[in-house]
Structure 1
């Protein structure tokens, strides 16, 4: 298969337009169109449905686009590795983690990383789906369980637990429960049980719901749970790593918590020598160490 035609097909599929793809590739629309038609003829299939508003991939086109997307990701990663110098950190680094951890813990700390490496370009992909690192859907992952994929370098960063938190304002207006049975008189804010989440958090919510709680608010990620808690809507089930950045939150029922949840950082074996990955790994490790020290001080106080 002609690599140049595949490159042009990928650009067209990504842009959804011959004109936009031509702008990216610095080719005329007619040249792009000829290459796409030639590829279709060589494969004896139709790759695009053509209509007035643009192009839509056919089922066969979708299959080919998945293949070219994987190839493109690998080529970009290879190019970035080649460009990595011995002393500089720059280029694109694709990081994936959960919505809650990414928005509430990682993103607020990234200014420190950019201050040290201003030429770094981070693509932060926040989703509960576990991306395939060996297939280069991402360069680095931070996940709430040990990755099972092969050919990965993995490092255990810390353990977290899900606990109950509320604002002083909410507790002042509604009282502070002293035992589990009293939670039924409060509004419980938690992740929706039907959304992907760590089992320990779901188990804790299930235990709490046994007390016939009269009012609940469920959200599909911890960022939403936190916003509801900060607006004094009730008592929220939240990961304990939030305490460093939201010290005013009050822990409710201190003896109630989930089982430990391990947090792992992982990246493909082939990126072992990447300066970008090493810089990000060391940055996260340093921030975790700083967080642990503050946590120990707070627990000792």
Structure 2
């Protein structure tokens, strides 16, 4: 069955170019009314222009779709509130939010000014939280919503010179995990995209042959699935060059130390057992880890725990 978004209203941040532009255009092609949000800033977040967002709006409307531009700085709560209010005034609802806006200020941690660290975290993490927070009550009232956060392999796996960007992108996973739990009752599904694309952020880092393979158009199909009616929730979807994969965070069974072994030396001696991946499992709530450790400790001491119902 074809995935369509007729009657749905979507906000895509950072949609004036690259991945965001592609997400917005493809959502509109499949029937969504789209808010094209873009500050029109340079790659480092400086400057401002309305032209990028309006060009995408023109592309959508020229093709028969419906779209509006808004230049809100995603980290500015008042500007975001205005964007959300204008969206509701025009179309009455918000069904889809794709958090895509971001900047880069790359330097090694030793050479980086903390102001550059703070600014990148402010745009990526606080910007995502600010827009999501503004849309959240609307989606709760509707008893439906689809939200995508944008992470990166730099946050999941690390990348030299990107401590600020990597920290902000890794935070998306923690935000997703909690919002998934809090939104489940109201059918708000929250997922994270970890894309590798040829955009203005990456074009100088790749050979020409890779740039064509890693076009944003090869990633957007994954985003459209993540915001569809039958979307999953709490998924980290890696995407690039038409290739898709799911990242999961696992925990090893571990080892329980008691008595004289419960020392730093005991941890060192048992570290091969502690890190053995055999039997590892995915935990889906923080309290599962608490229960696991307490249960293991009780078993090692011959005790029984009653967690109740």
What is the TM-score when the length of structure 1 is the normalising length? 0.26
Q: Which has the larger radius of gyration?
A: 1
The structure where strand makes up a greater share of residues is: 1
Higher RCO (Cα < 8 Å, 6 or more apart)? 1
